[in-house]
Structure 1
């Protein structure tokens, strides 16, 4: 009997999502706005400041009970 390890690709719904992206041109770090805990976040990869933008991403809900920005 043959069992294929390939999974079928499922089309996930996408939407324009607010993100923070790194201002360092050599870094490609970014994060979703609803996963940021600071008003002005800093890149976790290179410690540079980040700027707001938008990106088409799959819908993802943050269910964390601690969602306040300091």
Structure 2
């Protein structure tokens, strides 16, 4: 797994449901925990859909 860059991570968080982003600051502990789980799931899904990183210095071999 490659390490995501900060811009990609920021975009993933901004694409998370709004309620989850706001609920991180809620006074209710249970709601904060649910929001954290939702944000974590959003990042995991985004990482699974992240296009593979190809090293441009590596020569491609024809199949």
- What TM-score do the two structures reach when normalised by structure 1? 0.20
Greater percentage in helix? 2
Greater percentage in strand? 1
- What TM-score do the two structures reach when normalised by structure 2? 0.21
